[in-house]
C-alpha cells in the first residue's frame, strides 16, 4: 500500500458535478479547474445540458482543454423526479470508467448525484471520495413545510454517503446544522475567492445608469424587488432615474413585461448575461436584492472592483460586507431597499464610505487560498478512505 505522504503527492482524478452551468457554482468550479489543472490534476465535469446560453458556451470553451476527463452534459432537472434515477444509471458506467479519485458534487442535485454514484462505485471496491458543497441549494427550503421536511430527510440519508462536506460560508454551515443536523463526515469552511486581476478597480462609463442589477433572472435573486424599489426610489428622489439589468433566466420575460406595464422601459434597460467586470462599467452602483444566497460571487466581484454596493442581508453576505454594514437591508423589503437606493443618489459620499476595507477583504477572499484548501481536503479525505478500505 502507498503511504499517505506518497498518495498526497499523486495527481488526483477529479470530477465536478452540478446542475446548471449558470451563476456562482459554475464560476466556483471553473476557478477550481483552472488552479488544479495547473498543478497537474486531471479533471472532468458532469452538468445539465438544458440550461445556459451563448455566454456559458464561451465559458466552457475557455476551460475545455483543461478537462482531461471530459465534459459530460445531460438533462438534469431542478426538481427531484424519477428521471434522476434513470440519469444516474445512464452516467454511472461512464463515470466509473474514468476511475476518479474525487467526486465533488455542487448544489443539491450535484451533491445527490455524486454521493449515489460514488456509493455504487465504493460497493465495487473503488476508493473514490464523495465530496459535497451545498452552495445554498436545498438549504434555502423551509424546514417547517412538507417539501422542506422531505428534502432534509433526503439530505440526512445522503449524509451517510458523504466523505467530506465543504461549506462556502459560516451561514451555510449553521443552516445545515439547523435543518439537516451536525455533519456526520468531516466538514470544512472554505470561502470563495477571486483572482488577482479582479481586484483592479473598474471605471464607470460616461452616461452610466444609476443602478445595476446583475445575476440570474429568477425570483430567488430578487429582480422583481429591484424593479419595485427602483420605482419607489424615483418617487423619493422626485425625478427619473436609470437602471441596467444584466442576466438570463427562467423569469426574464416576466420581468420585461413588468417593466413595460410600469412604464419603465425607457429607464430600465435589460441585457443578456455578460462578464461581471464589463457590466460594472454600465452603472454607478450595484444592487443585490436576493431573497437567499450562500456566498455569492457577484458580491465578492463587486467589492473587489471597487464598485459601491447595496445588498440584502442574506446568507454569507454579512461575512463579506460586515455584520453591521449600513448598506444591507432585509430580503424582500422593497421600501427599505428603495430608501438605500435613494440615499445613494442624494448623498454621493455615503455609499462609498460604507464599503468594506479593501485590504482586509483581499486577504480573506483569494482563489489561490480557496483552491489550496479544497485540494488539502481532497487529499486528506482520499487518504482516510484508502486507510478505511485496507
Closest among 209, 349, 192 to 287, alpha carbons compared: 209
368-385 pLDDT per residue, tens: 999 999 999 999 999 888
197-364 and 4-193+366-388 share a CATH fold? yes
Residue with cell 483543461: 66
pLDDT of 208 > 90? The answer is: yes
CA distances from 250 to 22, 145, 254 (A): 12, 25, 9
Strand locations in the chain, DSSP E?
13-17, 42-48, 70-74, 102-106, 129-133, 164-167, 186-189, 209-214, 243-246, 268-271, 283-288, 309-312, 328-329
Instruction: Parse the chain into domains and list their residue ranges.
Output: 4-193+366-388, 197-364
Percent over 90 (pLDDT), the chain: 86
Angle between helices 83-97 and 107-123 (to 10 degrees): 60
The grid cell for 166 is: 465543504
The CATH number of domain 4-193+366-388 is 3.40.50.2000: yes
214-224 pLDDT per residue, tens: 999 999 999 99
pLDDT of residue 80: 80
pLDDT of residue 5: 44
Sheet holding 309-312, edge to edge: 268-271, 243-246, 209-214, 283-288, 309-312, 328-329
pLDDT of residue 169: 93
Q: For 109-118, what is the mean pLDDT?
A: 95
CA distances from 161 to 96, 117, 119, 295, 356 (A): 17, 10, 6, 25, 39
Percent over 70 (pLDDT), the chain: 97
pLDDT of residue 388: 74
150-188 pLDDT per residue, tens: 999 999 999 999 999 999 999 999 999 999 999 998 999
Q: For 307-334, what is the mean pLDDT?
A: 96
Residue with cell 444609476: 210
Architecture of the domain defined by 197-364? 3-Layer(aba) Sandwich (3.40)
Q: For 50-73, what is the mean pLDDT?
A: 95
pLDDT of 88 > 50? The answer is: yes
pLDDT of 322 > 60? The answer is: yes
Amino acid at each position: 500500500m502507498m503511504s499517505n505522504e506518497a498518495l498526497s503527492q499523486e495527481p488526483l482524478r477529479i470530477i465536478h458535478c452540478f446542475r446548471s452551468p449558470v451563476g456562482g457554482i459554475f464560476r466556483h468550479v471553473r476557478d477550481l479547474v483552472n488552479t488544479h489543472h495547473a498543478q497537474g490534476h486531471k479533471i472532468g465535469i458532469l452538468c445539465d445540458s438544458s440550461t445556459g446560453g451563448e455566454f456559458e458556451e464561451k465559458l466552457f470553451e475557455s476551460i475545455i482543454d483543461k478537462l482531461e476527463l471530459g465534459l459530460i452534459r445531460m438533462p438534469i432537472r431542478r426538481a427531484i423526479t424519477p428521471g434522476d434515477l434513470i440519469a444516474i444509471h445512464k452516467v454511472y458506467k461512464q463515470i466509473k470508467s474514468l476511475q476518479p479519485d474525487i467526486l465533488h458534487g455542487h448544489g443539491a442535485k450535484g451533491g445527490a448525484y455524486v454521493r449515489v454514484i460514488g456509493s455504487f462505485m465504493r460497493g465495487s471496491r473503488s476508493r473514490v471520495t464523495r465530496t459535497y458543497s451545498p452552495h445554498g441549494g436545498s438549504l434555502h427550503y423551509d424546514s417547517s413545510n412538507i417539501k422542506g421536511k422531505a428534502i432534509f430527510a433526503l439530505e440526512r440519508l445522503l449524509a451517510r454517503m458523504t466523505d467530506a462536506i465543504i461549506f462556502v460560508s459560516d451561514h451555510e454551515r449553521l443552516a445545515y446544522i439547523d435543518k439537516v443536523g451536525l455533519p456526520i463526515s468531516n466538514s470544512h469552511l472554505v470561502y470563495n475567492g477571486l483572482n488577482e486581476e479582479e481586484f483592479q478597480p473598474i471605471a464607470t462609463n460616461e452616461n452610466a445608469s444609476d443602478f445595476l442589477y446583475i445575476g440570474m433572472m429568477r425570483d430567488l435573486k430578487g429582480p422583481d424587488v429591484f424593479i419595485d424599489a427602483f420605482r419607489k426610489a424615483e418617487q423619493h428622489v422626485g425625478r427619473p432615474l436609470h437602471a441596467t439589468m444584466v442576466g438570463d433566466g427562467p423569469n426574464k420575460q416576466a420581468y420585461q413585461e413588468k417593466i413595460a406595464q410600469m412604464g419603465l422601459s425607457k429607464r430600465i434597460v435589460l441585457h443578456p448575461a455578460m462578464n461581471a467586470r464589463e457590466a460594472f462599467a454600465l452603472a454607478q452602483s450595484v444592487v443585490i436584492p436576493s431573497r437567499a444566497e450562500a456566498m455569492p460571487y457577484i458580491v465578492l466581484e463587486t467589492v473587489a472592483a471597487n464598485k459601491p454596493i447595496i445588498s440584502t442581508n442574506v446568507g454569507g453576505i454579512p461575512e463579506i460586507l460586515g455584520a453591521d454594514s449600513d448598506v444591507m437591508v432585509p430580503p424582500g423589503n422593497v421600501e427599505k431597499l428603495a430608501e438605500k437606493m435613494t440615499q445613494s443618489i442624494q448623498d454621493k459620499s455615503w455609499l462609498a464610505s460604507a464599503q468594506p476595507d479593501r485590504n482586509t477583504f483581499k486577504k480573506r477572499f483569494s482563489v489561490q487560498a480557496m483552491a489550496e484548501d479544497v485540494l488539502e481536503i481532497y487529499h486528506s479525505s482520499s487518504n482516510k478512505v484508502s486507510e478505511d478500505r485496507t
